[in-house]
A and B are shown apart, each in its own frame.
Chain A
Amino acid sequence: MGLNLRLALALAAALFALAACVTDLNPEGGWSGPVEDGEFLYIGSKDGRMVRVARSTGALDQTWTYPAGEDDDLGEIYGTPAISNGVIYGSAFRCNGNDCEGEVFAAHIETGRSAWAAGPVAVKSRLVGAVGVGASTLVVGTSAIDGKDTPGGYLLGLDPTADAGRDLSAQVSRREKWRIPLDGAVWGGVAVAGDVAYFGTLGGTLYAVDLADSDSYTGSPAGRVLWTYDVGGAISGTPHVTGTNVYVGSFSNELLKLNLAYREQNPTGKTLDPSLEWSFDTGEWIWAEPLLVEGVVYVANLPGQVYALSADTGQPQWQTPAEVGKEIVGQPAIFESNRGPALAVASGEKDVAVVVLSSGQVSGELNTRDHGIKSAPLVIGDVIFVHTDSGQFRQYQAGTLSLLKCIEAKGSGKSCD
């Protein structure tokens, strides 16, 4: 066999092998953050299940998992789940190329059993962002459904009500209440405030959608869109809503503050046409949800620069001297360290940086032993909880930043020390 032929065959084989083993097309297990309810913390694990950890012992509760079957899993869970009225809601998906199967689930936090008799709601789409829970509607942002080109995504309004004691024949097939076509996929979470859902799309539009059950929307779900705002870049994070203000970062590198109070209201009393109050350019993409504490907005851009801005004016009060990590995706959390109030900023590369709230100086870190974290840290009292991208659930003492416990939040829940 000639040298050229052998080389050409080797090239072809190598290319095929590369195509066969490359994983870039498929998600890698999600980055769900923990959520608290009483004695337990609930996490979307790396093996595609909802699991829970007892706060008192820091151990995985082996008696509770959703779904319960050993061979069952939901797929990749990115969004932090939401708990409402004793039910935990969330979404997950799995893909083979662009062929994606998503599920929206609801499980009783007492039993771990599905709150919906027919099980999860199947949506042939990537369900990346966290679900939002309204008074009577569960909202989920999707990517394109069933591989269709347009629209780029939907907002689905689902009936979250548990099925117990209800006429199931009317419910199981009618869980979807409405769907609104969007200009792009929703990869960030949906924030719900005052029965209005706020979320952004990768198309760069911030949406406000009325969740109220009103006859005026019958037959025209798109009429629920109260307003849209073009932020000039893809929105991959969750908007931060407080009072009459919405803070949203995007791939335009800017953090925007929109004021909803300035404008006219529709007949149901909801604000229309938000007004831009200020914008601040961080020089890089913003993914993480900003945090508002006592009149100061804290925002981290994707490469890891953290800024403190006056919520009134948008003027910077400080910025970290250098980038504190890489791929900052999770919202920073505030806690009380030995050196006063501080921000915990989780890095997708490794560790959680500790930034002094008053000065922006980095005073230390929660050492994760090279495990990256893209989910938001959770602070309860003097304990900081982080879920690493590799599936470890680590607990730190807030004052001393020392590790209290580390377990694998998957499988048997063994210690990772």
Chain B
Amino acid sequence: MEFIGVLWNELLMRPMINSLALLADVLFDNFGLSIIVFTILIRIVLIPLTVRQTRSMKKMQELQPRLKSLQERYKDKGPAEKRKLSSETMKLYKEAGVNPIGCLGPLVIQMPIWFGLYRSILRTMPPTPEGLANLSASFYSWNPAISNVPINSKFLGIDLVDFVQGAPLPWNYALPVLVGVTMFLQQKMTMGNQVATSPQQAQTNQIMLWMLPIMFGFFTFQFPAGLAVYILFSNIVGVIIQYYVGGKQPVVLFGRAFLGSAEAREKSLAGASASAAPAAALVEESELEENDEDGQSENVHRQDRRRGNRKRSGNARRRSRRR
């Protein structure tokens, strides 16, 4: 356990504390700017992972109908069949070249960064005597920022180590709202123009799109303002990166398309109105399904059967060509 603590401290906390303090030193003794620049650098470093995550999500999306079909085939079967379902599923992933937990990589990597940053902000600008006494041990001896301690924790009238709810008006409300809005925007762009292939997925998409930003907006009240600034700018940079990684796709919001070329915006609007009806139907269907003991959606069945047939005939064609 102690070893993990040392690793956590040496590999994450100390580099973060020193980077943040050094950036603040360079950026006119401004810790707010330091957090923003640090966020941008972190997001830039994570771009390859973001691209990988986007691709992985796309592939997983494409596999959904086939997975659904497999699950349907082995539904209500015994343990032996369930094991077969697992092996079939893994085979499917292998064929498609998808690692089922590959898309989690960036999230898993970002988690310690979030936790680390949360702790680093509090440790770099300690509001308590204990924290200040403990701080010198975190600095590298070569770091010139050590002589600037205590670092000025004020940014745009906000104390970055104080809870957001304790920030002056309008920041105590503006920060949570901005975090929620930018997170919503990022989710919207990450999901892009994905069309749900099942009622469950349609529901999941809706939850991801609405619930997470709202939850984070509320949680932000309890965060130190510095962390809220990090999340806010991480979202903003995420939106920019997603725009380019996703091929400069327009974003459809409240019936209007933004960003992208005029042609792409028109296309998106047309696509959105066309997909709105099926998506709504899927959600409705899912609600119906919950009330239905048999719970089988004919629509999904039909889609799956069609996809299964296409796949089987494709395989047959490939086999005959090989022969």
Contacts and interface: CB of A to CB of B under 8 A. Distances in A.
A215 interface: no
Nearest to A23: B128
A327 B133 contact: yes
B127 A202 contact: no
B195 interface: no
A187 B127 contact: no
13 contacts: A1-B204, A2-B200, A12-B216, A15-B118, A18-B115, A24-B128, A26-B128, A31-B129, A98-B127, A147-B162, A202-B150, A232-B147, A303-B137
B219 A99 contact: no
B188 to A, nearest CB: 15
A251 B133 contact: no
Contact of A78 (B100, B129, B212): B129
Contacts of A28: 128, 130
A98 B161 contact: yes
Interface string B25-61: 0000000000000000000000000000000010000
Interface residues of B, number: 48
Interface stretch (A3-11, A217-225, A362-370): A3-11
Nearest to A301: B136
Interface stretch (B83-91, B103-111, B272-280, B293-301): B103-111
A28 B126 CA distance: 13
B133 A287 contact: yes
Given A27-B129, A251-B149, A15 B104 contact: no
B69 interface: no
A344 B204 CA distance: 64
Nearest to B135: A285
A252 B223 CA distance: 32
Please classify the interface of chain B as helix (H, G, I), strand (E, B), loop, or mixed, using the class held by over half of its residues. Answer: helix
Q: Which 9 A-B pairs have the closest CB atoms?
A: A98-B162, A24-B122, A2-B204, A97-B163, A19-B222, A27-B128, A16-B219, A327-B133, A97-B166
B132 interface: yes
B219 A12 contact: yes
A20 B165 CA distance: 13
Given A24-B128, A25-B127, A149-B154, A4 B133 contact: no
Interface residues of A, number: 50
A327 B227 CA distance: 28
Interface string B129-159: 1111110110000000011011000100101
A233 B208 contact: no
Contacts of B129: 27, 31, 78, 128, 187, 236
Contacts of B248: none
Contacts of A15: 114-115, 118, 219
A292 to B, nearest CB: 23
B207 interface: yes
Contacts, number: 120
Given A4-B103, A25-B127, A149 B157 contact: yes
A232 B128 CA distance: 22
A155 interface: no
Given A25-B128, A287-B133, 13 more contacts: A4-B208, A5-B207, A15-B118, A19-B222, A22-B118, A22-B119, A25-B162, A26-B128, A128-B129, A147-B166, A232-B147, A236-B132, A285-B136
Please classify the interface of chain A as helix (H, G, I), strand (E, B), loop, or mixed, using the class held by over half of its residues. Answer: loop
Contacts of B131: 24
B288 interface: no
A326 interface: yes
Nearest to A2: B204
A19 B179 CA distance: 16
Contacts of B128: 24-28, 95
A47 interface: no
Contact of B149 (A9, A128, A234): A234
A211 interface: no
A329 interface: yes
Contacts of B227: 19
A374 interface: yes
B123 interface: yes
A128 B127 CA distance: 11
B224 interface: yes
B111 to A, nearest CB: 6
A134 B311 CA distance: 92
